[in-house]
Amino acid sequence: MIKILFVCHGNICRSPMAEFVMKDMVKKAGAEKDFFIASAATSTEEIGNPVHHGTRRKLQQFGISTEGKYAVQLRKDDYEKYDYLIGMEQMNIRNMLRILRNDPEHKVSRLLDFTDRPRDIADPWYTGNFDVTYEDILEGCEALLQDCWLRLRS
């Protein structure tokens, strides 16, 4: 089983969007039993809050629900629980490494590092553009899923 944890600053916009997009892709591929997918925050600001309405609305356009998701914080022991710890931007990576203390197995990366165009995913909390965030997350999840398929086959 492949275990993926998506991480952003507050766990209300980008990381839950990635979590539920990836869950939807895995479900459509009939591979739910092969994956465990979750998301978390590097900060404590939004802990316990539901997914941002902009993310919920964007995902509803594709029939994807975020029902029951509330922000949680990344913990040091998550490093041992997950195969991939995926941040949305370089600041997330810096904060993840501060919390995790180390990355000896090279599990930590940005989502778009799996694509042909590595870059940060802008935070729609600030930009207000959930469409661009969705497109970037979709691109990243498709590339990450290809990496996961290779891992499952090896």
103 is catalytic: no
Cα–Cα dist 101/24, whole Å: 31
User: Which residues are within 8 A (CB) of 78 and not within 5 positions of it... i.e. 6 or more apart?
Assistant: 5, 40, 85, 100
Q: Which of 13, 78, 123, 141 is catalytic?
A: 123
Q: Which of 8, 13, 141, 148 is catalytic?
A: 8
Cα–Cα dist 12/55, whole Å: 8
Q: Which of 13, 14, 78, 148 is catalytic?
A: 14
Cα–Cα dist 81/41, whole Å: 16
14 is catalytic: yes
Tokens linked to 7 = 């991480």
8 is catalytic: yes
* Catalytic sites, residue numbers: 8, 14, 123
